[in-house]
Amino acid sequence: MEFEINDKSPAPAKVQLADQLRAAITSGEYAERLPSLTELTQRSGLALNTVQAAVRILKDEGLVYGVKGRGIFVRRLS
């Protein structure tokens, strides 16, 4: 999945990326695990700090959780 960040949007880049990741999780594209932060950085063209902030939004929402050294996993919602 490639991500499209609109520089003219009033929404910050981290929010745009979080929205796109959330949509990918909801659609089942990312059913178990998100790509690595490095891969998300490359695909989005954003800085690592911005990608981390987007993932933090999803963590705060309870959609994903991180396992140190293993990755970011999608929380199974029942």
Tokens of 20: 């796109």
Residues 47-76: pLDDT tens digits? Answer: 999 999 999 999 999 999 999 999 999 998
Q: What is the pTM of this model?
A: 0.94
- What pLDDT was estimated at residue 78? 58
Radius of gyration of the chain (CA): 12
Average pLDDT in the chain: 95
Architecture per CATH, domain 13-74, reads as Orthogonal Bundle (1.10)
Cβ contact 64:23 at 8 Å:
no
The distance from CA 63 to its chain's CA centroid, rounded to whole angstroms, is 10
What angle is formed at CA 13 by the lines to CA 53 and CA 2, rounded to 5 degrees? 95
